[in-house]
Structure 1
Amino acid sequence: MITGKLELTIKINELPEAQTVENNWQQFEIDCDGRIITVTVKPKMWKKLTDAANNYPQWVAAISGKLGQQTEHGFVLIEPNIQVFERKPKAEDTTTPGAA
């Protein structure tokens, strides 16, 4: 048997409703196919999400972390990290098929 590392990545494209917990950290929940994932992030990481929501018309965030304590309807994501990307709308194809 070998050892592995289990990491989860959750993608979101809208700002979740968060509650402020100790030290100004933000806690929010994400519903992933009926499993509720609880995420607690530092103010700096939360700012990445709010900046994306305010500055980009379309965006996506990848929240990765480790599987933590199980809860009644899901689990806690521990050691979360957030990467935010601007989604650029796909350019419409203006060429006509068959025109050469």
Structure 2
Amino acid sequence: MIAEKLEITIKINELAQPKTVKNAWQQFDLDCDGRITTITVKPKNYKKLTDITSNYPQWLAAMSNDKPRSVYAGKLGQSTELGLVLKSPKMKVFERKPKAEKTPAAGAAS
């Protein structure tokens, strides 16, 4: 058997209603293709997420448990009856810019 690493990335563009858990961490559930995933994030990371969502009408957040060199990343927690737990995931939040409409090239044949 070969030991490998399991990486999970969850992308969201809607903010779920959180509940406050131990040490003011925020926890929320996501339905990922029928598997309920419980996400637990530090208060600082949740504030970053809410700040972005209130400033930008379109946004995208990616949360993962991958572990780049010398950076602490989230832990894959216990499996649950309906899914899994992702604790303190690494999170990146981006502003989504609307795609520009394509216009026909100048001089194109009609």
Instruction: State TM-score, norm by structure 1.
Output: 0.88
Unaligned runs of 5+ in 1: none
SS of aligned partner of 1:36: strand
Asked if 1 retains the 8 angstrom alpha-carbon contact of 2:35 and 2:82, the reply is: yes
Q: Are residues 31 and 14 of structure 1, via their aligned partners in 2, closer, same or farther at CA, if it must alter by over 3 Å? A: same
Q: Which stretch of the first structure deviates more once superposed, 66-75 or 33-42?
A: 66-75
Q: CA deviation at 1:94?
A: 3.3
CA contact (8 A) 2:41 2:87 kept: no
- Unpaired runs of 5+ residues, structure 2, are 66-74
Give the share of equivalent positions with the same residue, in percent. 67
> Is 1:69–2:78 an aligned residue pair?
yes
Query: Does 2:93 align with 1:84?
Result: yes
State the Cα RMSD in Å: 1.8
State the alpha-carbon separation in 2 of the partners of residues 87 and 53 from structure 1: 11
Q: State the 1:98 CA deviation.
A: 5.6
CA distance in 2, matches of 1:11, 1:97: 38
* Other structure's SS at 2:89 match: strand
- Which one-letter code corresponds to 2:27 in the other structure? Q
Answer yes or no: is the 8 Å Cα contact 2:42–2:88 preserved in 1: no
TM-score (norm 2): 0.81
Measure how far apart 1:92 and its partner are.
1.3
Considering fraction of residues, name the structure with more strand: 1
SS at 1:5 equivalent: coil
Following the alignment from structure 1 to structure 2, what is the Cα–Cα distance between the partners of residues 98 and 22?
A: 64
- What does residue 40 of structure 1 align with? 40
Equivalence for 1:4: 4
What do the CA deviations read for 1:5-34 (whole angstroms, capped 9, x no partner)? 111000000111100111110000010011
